[in-house]
Copies of this chain bind each other. A is one copy, B any other.
Amino acid sequence: MEQRLTLITLGVKNLQRSKAFYQQVFGWKPTAASTEGVVFFQLNGIQLALFPQESLADDAGVSSEGKGFRRFALAHNVRSEQEVDELVTLLEQKGATVLKRPEKAFWGGYCSYIADPDENLWEIAYNPHLPLDAAGNVL
């Protein structure tokens, strides 16, 4: 099995609300393949999909009942501590919930957590041990 991933699907409560968040707060553009029932964003070699929670559970053949902590986090790393501060300020101005303000981490980085409308965690971080190339990829 090749060591790679193609797509991350978030099972959301309200597709329009989530789509609005990723478009308006993050400023991301959906792909042309997006429909009334599913929304895709092209990221760096992978895609992020928004799909109703019940539809995702149905597709996998599991119960859609789930609550509390989402038990995963997505990270968007930037290239300096200042960029973390600036991005978190911008996201908060646009309506994102800031769960943890930017601060130094014990491992030498600098990070913050925000939440999307389903309380999915997004870490906005600078990690000096994990350099990014020009396209933002970890190599």
Contact = CB atoms under 8 A, between A and B. Distances in A.
A139 B45 contact: yes
B65 A138 contact: no
A11 B68 contact: no
Interface residues of A, number: 67
A93 interface: no
B60 A73 contact: yes
Contact of A77 (B7, B41, B121, B139): B7
Interface of A: 1-12, 26-29, 33, 41-48, 53, 56-57, 59-77, 87, 90-91, 99-100, 113, 118-121, 123, 125, 129-130, 132, 135-139
10 contacts: A1-B87, A1-B90, A3-B41, A4-B136, A6-B130, A7-B75, A7-B77, A9-B74, A56-B73, A63-B69
